[in-house]
Structure formats: structure tokens, C-alpha cells
Structure 1
Amino acid sequence: MSNALKIYSFPLSGHSHRVILFASLAGIAYEIINLDLANGEHKKQPYLSINPAGQVPAIVDGTTAIADSNAILVYLARKYAPTFLPEDPVNEAEVQKYLSLAAGEIAFGPAAARLINVFNADLDREFTHTIAAQALTKLETSLTGKDFLVGNKPSIADVAIYSYVAHAPEGDISLEPYPNVRRLLKNIEALHGFIPFKATKVGLAA
């Protein structure tokens, strides 16, 4: 596995999962290196030389090190699986819109709500649920008559939103009001190479 893409991860991190998921969907050979976050391995050397921000995920691809899950998706798609990143300006802009949604309202909504339940994070539950509803409503509306978010075919946009949206129930956020979103999740899960995000004992059984 010495020549494989190295993915520095944490099993309960949705940001890490989106990178692993994409590598699997794209057929990229990879090696997962799980960091011991409880003991602060991500805040120490040698990991800080890979990602000075001390966060997961990060990748090492040969001599190239990249952090930030969305940046990693762009890099991997452009290098290894260009069909997941449209080249035409309109659809490429659409992908960027959903990457921003993943980094914004999804991170501060369903992802943050999950942090409260799974990691006892000291966050405002009501605020996270309000933001989650906004994000899920945007996705629901965008998916009217579509199987995937951009160009009606899989892209890194779908990968970016999947992990935390699929696990929104772990933050006590129901997906029942969003049939289009639930259909998208099933479409992603049906893709060759799909691997699930590890469920916790909160909200989801498996």
C-alpha cells in the first residue's frame, strides 16, 4: 500500500468519510490512517507537518499533502476522476455552490446537531436545527425532478453533502419531510464503490 493515497481520518468524522467515500467511488487505491483524536494525535507532530491546522481529514498523495475535505474532493476529482467535476462553467459553479453549502449550513446545521448528541458538544441545539432545516429545504427544492444535484449525474457535490445529511437523525433531525433528499441519498448509496459512514449508537442502529 506504499503507493496508495494516504487518508488521515477519524471514524466518526463525516468530513473524513466524504474523502474516503469519494476515493472508493472513484476507484482510487487508498490507505486509511486513523488518528487518536482523544489523545490529541492530530495536534502533534508528525501530523502537524501534514496539516498545520491539526484537523482531519488530510491526504498525502506522493509528495503532495492537502487538507480540508472539500479541497481534497476537488483535487482527487480533477486528478483521478474528472467525470465527478464538470468542466463547463455553469455546472462547475453549481458544484461549488454545494461545496459551500456543505461547509456552511450543513456543517452548522445537521453536522453540529450530531456533535451535540454524539460528542456532547456545547452548542445551541435550537440554532443547529434551524440551520439544518434551511439546508435541507434548499436541497429538497434543488432536487425537484433530479436524481443528483448537478447535471443529473454523480459529482463531488453529492459526495460533499452525503455524510452529514444521511446521519442527520443522529442529531435528532428527521429526514421524513424531505423525500427528494432521501431519494438522493439512496441514489448515492446505490453507486458502485459506495461505503457507509459509521453510525453511532445515537439515532441510527447501523
Structure 2
Amino acid sequence: MNTQPTNSNKPIILYRNPLSGHCHRVELMLSLLGLSYETVDLDMANGAHKAPDYLIKNAFGQVPAINDNGTLLSDSNAILVYLVQKYGADTNWLPKTPHAVAEVQRWLSVAAGEIVAGPCSARLVTVFGATLDHELAKQKAVSLFGIMEPMLGTRKFLTGDEITIADVSAYTYIAHAPEGGVSLEPYPNIRKWLSRIEAQPHFVGMKKTTVANAA
């Protein structure tokens, strides 16, 4: 549990699977903002995320979800926006100008699209045994990284030279891409970008898994 207080002096409750990148991006944001939070690990193997008491928190039966002193919210990217709007409004986590906001939104869409279809799906196969097309997911990851690599050679972070929630949203599944069989060795700029995020005050990582066929 982080020890910095929220505005209400009550910890935010994060409902999660500790190996979920979607959940980790929320925990990472909570920590980067220095907020007090507690984690509740759901026994998803036994259907805890489909239980009636949890469906009140997230009708889709997915993780993550948060309870911020009675405010219930789900969807990892929506939670990131909420947290920075409520607790980091005087920071650059979510820029104010129309173009900058649009750039962040584009990467939130990439996180929900290409990142899910690529490195996330590849990792779902190796870590969780998902019945997805592993080779296709790895190909999509390589295609995505091929776009990101030259881009990150001209800027420090995804939307410019300051970190935003776009970087938090994209970080986890890319950092853990090797667990899905996708090597990061060919991408020095991506690795430098990951290192810049990991160098942020209060950074907290997600537990790594050992997978036999990971690169």
C-alpha cells in the first residue's frame, strides 16, 4: 500500500489481477501521483470477477475497477483520466491544449487497439494460456514496435518531451512483451523510453513471469 493520502485521507481501493497489465497501469498511475491505495486481488480463476458484488463495481465483469471513497469506476484508461483530473490537474499528465489532448487520446486508442492486439495478446497466450493466434499477435507487436522505434528516436515520450498518461497506458504490455515471445532487443529507442518511465519518482513495476517460450 502506498502511504501518501488522497484528498479524502482514505485509500483508493484497486480491484485487480496482479498479472494484468491493464490493472498495473492503474496502480502505476496511483503510485506516480503519490496517492494512498490498497489492492484487492480477485480470484478470477474461480469467477470472483463475475460475482454479483463485483458486477456492481464493473458491470462488464472485468478488471481493473476502483472505489475512490464511494466513486466506482472501471476501464483502465478511463481511470487514468479520472485520477489525473482529480488529483493531478495542475500537472502535465493530461495536457490542456486541443492538439496535445488529441495526441494523448490517440495513444490511449493505440493502447486499447494495437497494444492489446499485439504484445498484450501474445502475452495472454504464454502467461494465461489464451486460445489466440500467437504468431499473429507477435507479428502485430513487431509491426507496432516498428512504428514506435523511429518515433521515439525524436522525442523522449510518446507525445513529446514530457511524460503523460499516454506513456503510463502504453508502458506495461510493451515492457512485458518478452513474456509473450516478443524481444525488445531490436528496439533501443523503445528500451530507452521504458527506462525513462521506470526512472520516474514513485515508479512501481509489475511482477514478471517466467515463460518457457518468451524471448
Q: Shorter-chain-normalised TM-score: which range? A: over 0.9
CA pair 204-3 structure 1, distance change in 2 beyond 3 A: farther
| Structure 2 partner of 1:144 | 153
Sequence identity percentage: 52
**Matched position secondary structure for 2:96:** coil
1:79 is matched with which residue?
86
Asked whether the 8 Å contact 1:149–1:157 carries over to 2, the reply is yes
Can you list the C-alpha shifts for 1:89-128, whole angstroms capped at 9, x where unaligned? 1111110011011100111100100111111111111210
Measured against aligned partners, the alpha-carbon deviations of 1:26-76 in whole angstroms (never above 9, x if no partner) come to: 111111111111111000021110001000001111221111000100111
Residue correspondence of structure 1 range 150-165 to structure 2 within 5 A? 150-165=159-174
**Range 124-133 or range 12-21, more displaced:** 124-133
Identify the residue that residue 43 of structure 2 maps to in structure 1. 36
SS in 1 for 2:40: strand
> How far 1:145 moved relative to its partner?
2.1
Q: Which residue of 2 aligns with 1:126?
A: 135
Q: 1:203 and 1:76 mapped to 2: Cα distance?
A: 37
Give 1:142 deviation, angstroms. 2.3
How many residues get paired? 205
TM-score by structure 2 length? 0.91
Moved more, 148-157 or 86-95: 148-157
| TM-score normalised by the chain length of structure 1 | 0.95
Q: Structure 1's 22 and 203: CA in aligned 2 closer, same or farther, altered over 3 A? A: farther
What does residue 73 of structure 2 align with? 66
What RMSD over aligned residues (CA atoms) do the two structures have, in Å?
Answer: 1.7
The CA distance in 2 between the partners of 1:179 and 1:125, in whole Å, is: 24
Point out where structure 2 has 5 or more consecutive residues left out of the alignment.
2-8
Structure 1 consecutive aligned stretches of length 4 or more whose deviation exceeds 2 Å: none
Deviations along 1:143-199, one digit per CA (max 9) or x if unpaired, are: 122111123111101100111000000011011111111000000000000011111
Distance in 2 (CA, whole Å) between partners of 1:138 and 1:26 is: 29
